[in-house]
Structure 1
Amino acid sequence: MTIAIGDRLPEATLVKVTAEGPDRVTTTDYFAGRTIVLFAVPGAFTPTCSAKHLPGFAAKVQAFRDKRVDEIACTAVNDAFVLGAWAKANDVEGVTMLADGNGDFARAIGLSMDGSAYGMGLRSQRYSMLVEDGVVTRLNVEEPGAFKVSSAEHLLDLI
């Protein structure tokens, strides 16, 4: 079942990229008591993700903070080292990278996809959501191959 507005995020463990190295965090602890924008990409270093999705959120960090968002986080079915290298390669600041290396979180929220036809295996669908104290209050899931409703600009317009 796909997560919906009003649902609480399920318990899952993600790996947060930090300057000190990978740090395991649970969704329960990470999202508790805060307002967080979470967006997902099918993969680090992929064309749309690198050219539009990640840079769009990185450019809008202050605009989200002005709307009382505590943190912006990006998740992908990649390991923490790949996500860290991707953020560094794109000179991204103000966006927390949350690795979902095995795709457990993507599956738990019903937003995984099979990218095997492209040699990518299990991946996350492209989406953006606003999460308030662990509860999804906005959710924008893209159609396959599209990039519109999950953009930073679209989510900003909704909050």
Structure 2
Amino acid sequence: MTIQIGQPLPDVELSTVGENIHPCRTGELFAGSRVVLFAVPGAFTPTCSNRHLPGYVERYADFHEAGVKVMCLAVNDAYVMQAWALAQQVPPGLLMLADGNASFTRALGLELDGTAFGMGLRARRFALYAEDGVVRLLQVEAPGELRASTAEAMLAAIRR
């Protein structure tokens, strides 16, 4: 079942990726913060690399000024996420999350079966806004779409 507005985010172990890779618990990661979490089906994939992540990189300062942390999630290993962040020139404050075993993605109920495309289990393309670990907004894209989970759409939604 897909997570719903008003529900707490599940507490699962992931890896945070930056200059270094660190294991973390999502419960600690989201506690006491306003966060936009967006998920992509895969690092280095065309739409994710050409449009989705770059939008958040370009608008990162707007989120930061609004006091909102930004996190990018993908069902990829931490080393792939680290290489992708470097290739995309992700600013240090935009946190990359590696959900290598899809534990968090499955706990959210937002997994995508990409086996027909040779990709295995992945995350659906989505974005959510959470306050202190509780979902306040959830935007899940229809297959092949990139509208509701863009940086611009999320900024507009949280500014209302």
Query: 1:146 matched to which residue of 2?
Result: 145
Aligned to 1:60, the other structure's residue is in SS state helix
1:12-91 equivalence runs, <5 A: 12-19=12-19, 21-69=20-68, 71-91=69-89
Deviation at 1:62, TM superposition (A): 1.3
Separation in structure 2 between the aligned mates of residue 7 and residue 47 of structure 1, nearest angstrom: 32
Q: CA RMSD of the aligned region, Å? A: 0.8
Q: Could you list the runs of 5+ residues in structure 1 that have no partner in the other structure?
A: none
Matching residue's letter, 2:57:
A
Aligned structure 1 segments of 4 or more residues deviating by more than 3 angstroms:
none
Give 1:51 deviation, angstroms: 0.4
Matched letter for residue 61 of structure 1? Y
Which is further off, 45-54 or 60-69? 60-69
**Structure 2 unpaired stretches of 5+:** none
| TM-score, reference length from structure 2 | 0.95
CA separation in 2, counterparts of 1:18 and 1:143?
30
Q: Secondary structure at the match of 1:54?
A: helix
1:18: how far off?
Answer: 2.9
Report which stretch shifted further, 89-98 or 119-128. Answer: 89-98
Aligned length: 157
Report how far residue 54 of structure 1 moved.
0.4
Question: TM-score under structure 1 normalisation?
Answer: 0.96
Distance 1:57 1:18 in 2: 16
One-letter identity of the residue aligned with 1:18: G
Give the deviation of 1:138 after TM superposition. 1.0
Q: Secondary structure at the match of 2:38?
A: strand
Deviation at 1:66, TM superposition (A): 2.3
The residue identity in structure 2 corresponding to 1:144 is P
Task: Report deviation, 1:22.
Answer: 1.6
Quote the Cα distance in structure 2 between the aligned partners of 1:102 and 1:125: 15
Which residue of structure 1 aligns with residue 5 of structure 2?
5
What SS does the aligned partner of 1:91 have? Answer: coil
Q: What corresponds to 2:96 in structure 1?
A: 97
2:84 aligned with 1:123: no
Q: Deviations over 1:48-69 (max 9, x none)?
A: 0000110001111111122221
